[in-house]
Amino acid sequence: MTDQTHDPALQSWVESANEAGTDFPVQNLPYGMFRDSKDGRPRLGVAIGAQVLDATAAFGLESMKAVMEKPKAEREELRRRISRFLVTRDRGAESRLTPMAAAEMLPPCEIGDYSDFYASIHHATNVGTMFRPDNPLMPNYKWLPVGYHGRASSIVLSGTPVRRPRGQLVDNPAGPPVYGESRRVDYELEVGALLGPGNAMGEPIPAGQAAGHLFGVCLLNDWSARDIQTWEYQPLGPFLSKSFATSIAPWVVTMEALEPFRCAPEPRPASDPQPLPHLATGGEDAYSITLEVWLRSARMAEPMRLSRGNFSTMYWTLAQMVAHHASNGCPLRPGDLIGSGTVSGPLKENRGCLLEATWRGTEPIELPTGEVRRFLEDGDEVTLRGWCEAAGARRIGLGECRGVVQAAVAH
């Protein structure tokens, strides 16, 4: 539900927040952890234009987790308080600001657990067609959000270099493998969601309450080594092909900020099954978020856009992922991270990874320098961007998530 914090006419006394095209107007108010030069202590910040509001000093909030674990109603009231602070200037309010360029961004929270889903039917169909052209989707796909448990220890902040991994590689699907550097490093354009209050072990989260356990979203790049993945993923799924790095953006856009951009999921074909009762969230629990991928090689002066898609095309929603994750009684905790899986759409320009965009390397992409890319090369920088727009609402952004591929560690 929208309230006065979403009013597109709202203006902040922070002038940069009122500029056209900013990701962080006063209608957004995303959270992030940062450190400035004052005392070097980690602080909870709120992005406002080109500034960071010190929410630790202004509101006594010591960490992101302190907000995540609050019930949804309390998070909504806190958002209203922050909005009033940034709309109505109090004496000395400027002292709570740090220029974004001078703030050292930190991971948003300690992530205890990370699970990644496979929620785009367009992505799943494309990948399935490459490997199983006669049967691209497994029988379970339309009945539950397929996912796997990731590795929280390898989640890194945007800007952190990503080392090319080593692993077992095969030329023949039957083996034998050799151990070496991955030759097919890829990105995956995803939306990450950080979770809120959570549930007790053994107590599922009802589908109708799942949205209340979503705290906010960020851009997420699930780096993948496709050649390692091909050999290892059967029968238990990805392992070393994913656990070498996952990048996240520093700013977490709250579910409250996304309210004006909530929409109904795309209608399912009449031939598809409807979700079982424990996954039937009902209503409008999809979100219209435009997402882009940009690539810049070491030889390029400016980046090139590789794809643009929209998060509203996902077959399974974030709330359904939460409901499914907890449906067996699995305890979810504040700060847990879930990934949506690659966001792809029906068109070639919507494909959210190189595996799809180059169709497993058979349709290489030509860069402005004359270079071609089937998969990522050392020195390639990948940048994810995202924003929301809707009639009657102020545009808000998710910032960006960047990473540069570096050569594998020498052996």
Residues designated catalytic = 123
Given CA atoms 153, 401, 353, 310 in this order, what sign does their dihedral have? positive
| Short-list 87, 92, 79, 8, CA closest to 46 | 79
CB 336, CB 113: distance < 8 Å:
yes
CB 53, CB 32: distance < 8 Å:
no
239 CB-contact burial (10 Å; exposed 0-12 / middle 13-18 / buried 19+) = middle
CB burial readout 260-298, b (16+ within 10 A) else e: bbbeebeeeeeeeeebeebbebeeebbbbbbbbbbbbbe
Residues counted in the chain:
411
User: Which are the contacts of 17, defined by CB distance < 8 A and separation ≥ 6?
Assistant: 11, 24, 25, 26, 48, 49, 51, 86
CA-to-CA dists, residue 217 to 42, 48, 74, angstroms:
21, 17, 18
User: Which are the contacts of 256, defined by CB distance < 8 A and separation ≥ 6?
Assistant: 5, 75, 76, 79
188: which 2 tokens?
A: 């995956």
**391 — alpha (psi -120 to 50), left (phi > 0) or beta?**
beta
Q: How far apart are CA 162 and CA 391, in angstroms?
A: 39
In a 13 Å sphere around the CA of 21, the CA atoms on its Cβ side amount to: 0
CB 35, CB 42: distance < 8 Å:
yes
Give me the phi and psi of 210, to 5 degrees please.
Answer: -65, -35
256: which 2 tokens?
A: 């409250």
